[in-house]
């Protein structure tokens, strides 16, 4: 059974739903009309271009092109994480990139090589969507983790410096903030996993069902992707926070003010 297409006329009708949140935000005193409509336009244009590109990517299905597209996704995610976390890109670009590459590559390889085993193994219809879902969740988790970690140290700088003066190493002194940041990073995914099926039907499962897959097959894929998302996010967050320490502090263990973006 083919998925029901949405005509251009109905797509225009669909955009009308954005009027409701705009009115609610406006009535609350938030003047976000420009940001809202600009975000919608950017989303639409970007997804349209990606849709066109993916159509040809799936048809060509060349390993080099598939990997190149994922590299582009990783670099864009790197910039996005650091901007949204309020950190300077030049200080943390390599450490964040290494963390999300390791986290994403680990779970994608695990799924493709051990669990799904598509033929060929680099099949773009599996490789690109799976990498995109895992990377998207790693992005959110790393934004939360980095922002929470460095804002906490900045806010509690006297407490952190006291730990150092009492003889703690830098890693020992940041451990309380590290734990809290990591907890904040993985909590949304834990809450999502605990309520899947009861509170919501996730996007991947819904998409497969709408595309004609059997519900039980969709369930198995959803379980697989959620477990891999959690593994990737945890790995990427731990690596990102750990690797960033080298660039965030001076030789005396003091947090560099230069690592934060000016707003």
Contacts of 140 (CB under 8 A, 6+ apart): 188
Residue 181, CA distances (Å) to 44, 104, 234 in order: 33, 20, 11
pLDDT reported for residue 202 = 67
Q: Give 200's pLDDT tier (boundaries 50, 70, 90).
A: low
Is pLDDT at 201 greater than 70 in this prediction?
no
As a whole number, mean pLDDT of residues 220-230 equals 88
Residue indicated by tokens 């040809």:
56
Query: For all residues of the chain together, what is the average pLDDT?
Result: 88
C-alpha span between 53 and 56 (Å, rounded): 6
- Rounded CA-CA distance 225/61 in Å is 22
Cα dihedral 215, 219, 225, 229 sign: positive
User: What is the C-alpha separation between 130 and 138, in angstroms, rounded?
Assistant: 12
Residue 242 contacts residue 235 (beta carbons within 8 Å): no
Cα separation of 70 and 35, whole Å? 28
Please report the pLDDT score of residue 231 as a whole number: 94
* Residue 112 in tokens: 């493709």
**Is pLDDT of 122 > 60?**
yes
Does residue 182 have a pLDDT over 90?
Answer: yes
pTM beyond 0.85? no
In tens, the pLDDT along 35-93 reads 888 999 999 998 888 888 888 888 888 888 889 989 999 999 999 999 999 999 999 99
Does residue 213 surpass a pLDDT of 90?
Answer: no
CA–CA separation, 82 and 88 (whole Å):
7
* C-beta of residue 118 within 8 angstroms of C-beta of residue 224: no
> What pLDDT is stored for residue 263 in this prediction?
61
The helix (H) or strand (E) run that includes residue 203 is helix 203-210
Positive or negative, the CA dihedral 206, 220, 118, 69 is positive
């Amino acid at each position: 059974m083919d998925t029901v297409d949405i005509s251009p006329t109905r797509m225009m009708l669909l955009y009308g739903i954005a009027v409701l949140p705009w009115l609610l935000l406006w009535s609350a005193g938030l003047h976000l009309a420009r940001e809202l409509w600009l975000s919608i336009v950017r989303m639409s244009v970007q997804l349209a271009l990606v849709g066109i590109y993916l159509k040809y990517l799936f048809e060509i299905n060349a390993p080099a092109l598939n990997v190149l597209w994922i590299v582009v996704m990783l670099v864009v995610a790197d910039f996005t994480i650091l901007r949204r976390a309020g950190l300077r890109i030049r200080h943390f670009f390599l450490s964040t990139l290494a963390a999300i590459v390791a986290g994403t590559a680990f779970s994608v390889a695990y799924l493709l090589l051990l669990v799904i085993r598509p033929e060929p193994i680099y099949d773009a219809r599996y490789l690109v969507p799976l990498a995109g879902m895992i990377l998207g969740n790693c992005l959110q988790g790393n934004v939360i983790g980095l922002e929470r970690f460095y804002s906490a140290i900045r806010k509690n700088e006297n407490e952190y410096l006291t730990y150092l003066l009492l003889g703690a190493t830098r890693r020992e002194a940041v451990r309380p903030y590290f734990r809290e940041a990591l907890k904040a990073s993985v909590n949304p995914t834990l809450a999502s996993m605990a309520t899947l099926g009861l509170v919501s039907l996730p996007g991947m499962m819904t998409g497969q069902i709408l595309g004609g897959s059997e519900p039980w097959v969709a369930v198995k894929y959803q379980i697989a992707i959620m477990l891999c998302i959690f593994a990737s996010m945890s790995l990427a967050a731990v690596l990102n926070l750990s690797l960033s320490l080298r660039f965030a502090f001076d030789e005396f263990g003091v947090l560099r003010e230069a690592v934060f973006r000016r707003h």
